[in-house]
Amino acid sequence: MTPEAMAALHARCFTTPRPWSAAEIAGFLADPLCFALLRPAGFLIGRVVADEAELLTVAVAPDARRQGVGADLVADFLRNAALHDARTAFLEVSAENPAAIALYARAGFTPAGRRRGYYRQPDGQKIDALVLSRPIYATEGGGHPTEI
């Protein structure tokens, strides 16, 4: 999946936070600390710095949601993070995205904080970001995620 295709999918998935451009995605993919996990109907971009893994974004095509694609990507993110010796995973999610919050909760993420007014909707309204985290267990590194 090219950065352009990833950006097109991201734009189908997000208004808040704003969708990422192909150039922004290409910038993350060029960073040696970042990785992308790909599926035909979605992708995830994460990074590992020292012993922390950050889930930067996950996008699943609207017609492929609730079919396990997002859950598989998050599970692969945790495996990949474990393989890179990360011990903690974290992410930010819009406080007004209950589907994503539920996905992350099923993967073991719990609230770690709140960033008030972190995101801005296209109409200018501010939305809080929830910071979620969870430990990463060495046993999660047993698989081989699809990494580029």
140 is catalytic: no
104 is catalytic: yes
Instruction: Mention every residue, 6+ apart, whose C-beta is less than 8 A from residue 114.
Output: 95, 128, 129, 130, 131
Q: How many CA atoms lie within 13 A of 121 on its CB side?
A: 9
Cα separation of 94 and 15, whole Å?
11
24, 52, 104, 118: the active-site residue: 104
**Of 120, 129, 126, residue with least CA distance to 15:** 120
Active site (catalytic) residues: 92, 104
